[in-house]
């Protein structure tokens, strides 16, 4: 399971690069335009992903920021947002490297931004959720970009594994 999460952290970083490279081709108005996604614009969606990663990493290891709401705008500027995203992806990858099977099996307890009260479950379930959450919202980013007439991004995990992620193909 640990190797799988390391691979997902690397894939997550790679997929974020694809989204941000395409976002850099947009005008500022296009980047901020409400396109009907859950967080409105590409800007809102990418901010949300950074917010939630900061929340999860704080829950996991007690470090980093703890935004008060899921829709907080951490960075209005794409370049600043991209720099923060790259730093957070490194933070996630570095943290995953510190884990072992016992840590993944141990419980994590936290309080949700959305619901009062403690929530407890094995760490591995929360880590899986964090990566799945990214896939969900990157799909929205893809929808936003294609609705603007941008070429369709190939974000498939297997595409990553056949290219930059080949090191994860061996056992």
Binding positions for a divalent metal cation are: 48, 133, 137
Domain residue ranges in the chain: 1-168
Give 10-residue mean pLDDT values along the chain (171 residues). Answer: 95 97 95 92 96 95 84 92 97 97 96 88 96 95 93 91 92 68
Binding positions are: 48, 133, 137
Global confidence as pTM: 0.94
DSSP single-letter state for residue 150? P
The reported pLDDT for the residue numbered 54 is 95
Q: Which CATH architecture has domain 1-168?
A: Up-down Bundle (1.20)
Q: How far apart are CA 140 and CA 53, in angstroms?
A: 17
């Amino acid at each position: 399971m640990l190797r799988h999460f390391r691979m997902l952290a690397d894939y997550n970083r790679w997929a974020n690069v694809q989204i941000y490279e395409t976002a850099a081709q947009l005008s500022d108005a296009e980047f901020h335009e409400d396109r009907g996604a859950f967080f409105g614009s590409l800007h809102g969606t990418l901010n949300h992903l950074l917010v939630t990663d900061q929340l999860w990493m704080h829950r996991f290891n007690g470090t980093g920021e703890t935004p008060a709401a899921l829709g907080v705008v951490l960075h209005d500027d794409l370049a600043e947002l991209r720099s923060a995203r790259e730093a957070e992806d490194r933070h996630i990858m570095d943290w995953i490297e510190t884990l072992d099977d016992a840590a993944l099996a141990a419980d994590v307890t936290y309080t949700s931004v959305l619901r009062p009260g403690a929530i407890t479950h094995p760490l591995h379930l929360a880590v899986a959720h964090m990566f799945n959450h990214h896939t969900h919202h990157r799909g929205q980013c893809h929808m936003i970009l294609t609705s603007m007439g941008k070429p369709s991004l190939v974000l498939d995990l297997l595409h990553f594994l056949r290219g930059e992620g080949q090191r994860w193909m061996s056992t």
